Amino acid sequence: MIEIYKEQPVGFIGLGVMGQGMAQCLLRQGWQLQVFARRDDAARAVVQAGARRAESPAALAQACRLVFLCLSDDAAVEQVLFGDAGLAQALARGSVVVDTSTIAATSARAFAERLAAQGIAFLDAPISGGQQGAETGTLACMVGGPAEAVEALRAVMGAFCKSITHVGAVGAGQTVKACNQVAVAGALLGVADAIALARSQGVDPRVMREVLLASTGRSFVLEKHGQRVIDGNYEPGFRARLMRKDLRIALETARSGGAQLQGAPVAERLVNELCESGRGELDWAALGLLVQEKGG
């Protein structure tokens, strides 16, 4: 199994909101980093911080035996892996690709099978914790793949993760991430309803929130997103259009396994309505805004 040392270059592809923070964490921890980005502005900050920029995924793969991906969707991951000048064209046998993107479990398993034919390991390792977690290195990561590979990479992944949990075979990471998104969406709907109920009865929602935080209604969503909804602060940390994508992945995953989810379809419908109203770039906590609007 691969052994990674700080003297060896690590690859990173996907320098968006999350990837920027994760890449900077790796650099701050002393890892040698090579990156690929199509846009100059996406690569500028990490290059200034000490990363080297590759001309293509294949060029990056020639120098790195470990590559992290943090991309927008299944199609983007497939293109970077198997498209023109993709990673698969140049990665050496024994290399590892760690995909921190949120994609379908079925896609993760298909990508892993194709790479395995070339002697390359693939871990699906979606993350949770938002932009702040990426920047501070406190993300939670749920990893699917061989246990020995997960253990071998704990040190390097620890640069941007506070929690790394091996949850099963390839695809299990994406399944657990889907479970997370279903649970957090349901929680936000409950919080938004509670705020709407308080306001309808002339109760200060700030006071209501403080009471619930000291009672059985306490939750991370109430603590973080509840304050956002009350303040009307929807500056994006995790955009509504990305939550819509994640919920659709969760619903498709449920259908493929015969599960009939009840709350997630409601959340997906409302997040879709938010996006279709031109507010897909707002933080997904704006779901609470939509609930307030529907209540008049």
Does the pLDDT at position 217 exceed 90?
yes
Q: Which residues of 44-67 are buried (b: 16+ CB within 10 A; e: fewer)?
A: eebbeeebebbebbbbbbeebbbb
The class level of CATH for 175-294 reads mainly alpha
Q: What is the pLDDT of residue 75?
A: 96
Q: How far from 36 is each of 14, 53, 59, 97, CA to CA, in Å?
A: 7, 6, 9, 14
Q: What is the pLDDT of residue 34?
A: 97
Q: What is the pLDDT of residue 241?
A: 95
When the candidates are 3.60.21.10, 3.40.50.2300, 3.40.50.720, 3.40.1160.10, the CATH number that belongs to 9-169 is 3.40.50.720
CA angle 68, 73, 74 (to 5 degrees): 85
Q: Report the alpha-carbon distance of residue 10 to residue 25 in Å, rounded.
A: 13
Q: What is the pLDDT of residue 271?
A: 97
Our answer to whether residue 177 is catalytic in this structure is yes
Ranges of each domain in the chain: 9-169, 175-294
Closest CA to 57 of 33, 28, 91, 23: 91
**What is the residue whose two structure tokens read 């309505």?**
273
Residue 229 — very low, low, confident or very high, per pLDDT cuts 50/70/90?
very high
Q: Report the alpha-carbon distance of residue 64 to residue 167 in Å, rounded.
A: 26
For 102-147, write each residue's pLDDT tens digit: 999 999 999 999 999 999 999 999 999 988 999 999 999 999 999 9
Catalytic residue among 162, 177, 245, 294: 177
Q: Report the alpha-carbon distance of residue 41 to residue 15 in Å, rounded.
A: 10
pLDDT, mean over the chain = 95
Does the pLDDT at position 1 exceed 80?
no
Q: Residue 7's CB: how many other CB atoms inside 10 A?
A: 8
Q: Name the percent of the chain lying above pLDDT 70.
A: 99
For 235-280, write each residue's pLDDT tens digit: 988 899 999 999 999 999 999 999 999 999 999 999 999 999 999 9
Closest CA to 95 of 113, 70, 122: 122
